[in-house]
Structure 1
């Protein structure tokens, strides 16, 4: 089995960025995705340079912070305060797909300014997959233009991925993390045990991080992130990976497939 331990939310807060960095340096995290609209983007880019992270994904967002473009250009997807809505269900149903595409492309342009190589696309809160197929198609179109994979959200998107020649993993498992019980070593091993003997590529979505004031302000998902850091950097999980001949890869390996 080939395994991508992927950490979401790089750049969301300094503490989250530091937790992901620790997972990469001292643990089994092999890819992450950057929030290009983050207030602490410069900190994340500097941290990536410090740890030798040369490539990562873009965490497209419509539900974190403020847009890259002026909010006045995005009236259907921003609040009166000029920010994104906090969760996908709060986005008005009459959103303008053209506004979403413009903002996603602006986030991509911001990402490219960092100098990091793009490994893949995914989205914060899975927002693109929770809206309509037109938004999914926007992401597939951008991925095709950039020649990068997209996170496998569900099988209903596969025909559109095939239409645009976009690669993905064989499986995405979203059961790790979210609360203390599901962030433990035993829970992660339980997940991996289901796949370890398959000839497949699996992404396990993770959210490691250290709790800081910024995280407390923007999210209710806090302390389990620190438990994830402990699990993903533990000697026990690294021994399990070796003992079961699991190959750790990043999305770059899928991107570079011949």
Structure 2
């Protein structure tokens, strides 16, 4: 039987996202969620975790488009005086590369995010990042260090076959080709590092190329063609969006059963393999 982690990113971002995560876990096909420690609705997400002990949880490292855990005076190169990270992914990425003294600020902020989650009683089964920022060359070393220190067994590496995606959905061709190239380079840099330090990763991760548009139709056409196990599907459920609808779709549930797929969490991978 094939095994699949179905994960929601941005858990704790807002009350609306939190409701979608809990609903999709209880009534849909969701098995896991990645929590934003600096999210405005982080306390609500913690309450949901306590009320749903079967929900797998990972840390969703955030260094752009979100809020810091540390104060501005501690990370002046990362966040503004209100604790807001840069909204623009390109400029945020360049800042992480070239800003003088930024490495120590990155290390301290992502450590603070992880410790905030752990101190709230959350057991972390994996680590990933907002817009996959954890794979940034200035971040990945610190992310691996966190996993070793806090016994987080897995880091997400999004490796999604381009032609499999295009066969199902041929839209946004330039976006998909560029992101496939960029993240394939980052994945090839990260994988040996994870292996060296004994951190696991799932070999097939779907979500990057269809980000924000994981529709029910997309899943029903994609799932039958997957022969690797385990694999991950990550999405971004919000009220009335395609991702949330797909997680709740009865035909998607039926497709999962018909294709012999068991929905699991990251914590269950070693137990079931």
Q: TM-score, normalised to structure 1's length?
A: 0.85
**1:205 and 2:209 aligned:** no
**1:183 and 2:224 aligned:** no
Alignment partners' CA distance in 2, 1:24 and 1:54: 7
Gaps of 5+ in 2: 159-186
1:1-258 equivalences under 5 Å are 1-53=2-54, 55-79=56-80, 81-91=82-92, 92=95, 93-95=97-99, 96-129=102-135, 131-132=136-137, 134-147=138-151, 148-153=153-158, 154-174=187-207, 177-179=210-212, 182-195=213-226, 198-210=227-239, 226-254=241-269
Shift of the 55–247 alpha-carbon distance from structure 1 to 2, 3 Å rule, reads closer
- Contact 2:230–2:269 (8 Å) recurs in 1: no
Deviation at 1:200, TM superposition (A): 1.9
Deviation at 1:199, TM superposition (A): 4.2
Residue 165 of structure 2 corresponds to none
Q: TM-score, normalised to structure 2's length?
A: 0.80
Gaps of 5+ in 1: 211-222
Shift of the 121–87 alpha-carbon distance from structure 1 to 2, 3 Å rule, reads farther
Alignment partners' CA distance in 2, 1:53 and 1:116: 12
Shift of the 158–178 alpha-carbon distance from structure 1 to 2, 3 Å rule, reads closer
1:239 alignment partner, SS class: helix
Residues 245-254 or 50-59, more deviating: 50-59
CA offset digits 1:77-128 (Å, max 9, x no partner): 1235442111332222423111101001101110012212111100011112
2:73 alignment partner, SS class: helix
Alignment partners' CA distance in 2, 1:54 and 1:24: 7
Alignment partners' CA distance in 1, 2:104 and 2:188: 25
Residue 217 of structure 1 corresponds to none
Alignment partners' CA distance in 2, 1:17 and 1:163: 35
Deviation at 1:138, TM superposition (A): 0.9
Deviation at 1:177, TM superposition (A): 5.0
Shift of the 20–176 alpha-carbon distance from structure 1 to 2, 3 Å rule, reads farther
CA offset digits 1:128-186 (Å, max 9, x no partner): 22x32x4211111111222220001323311011111100111111257545xx43211
Residues 52-61 or 8-17, more deviating: 52-61
Alignment partners' CA distance in 1, 2:127 and 2:98: 25
- Contact 1:19–1:229 (8 Å) recurs in 2: yes
1:117 alignment partner, SS class: coil
Residues 158-167 or 90-99, more deviating: 90-99
2:33 alignment partner, SS class: strand
Shift of the 8–175 alpha-carbon distance from structure 1 to 2, 3 Å rule, reads same
1:89 alignment partner, SS class: helix
CA offset digits 1:206-239 (Å, max 9, x no partner): 11122xxxxxxxxxxxx5xx32222111221111
Shift of the 175–104 alpha-carbon distance from structure 1 to 2, 3 Å rule, reads closer
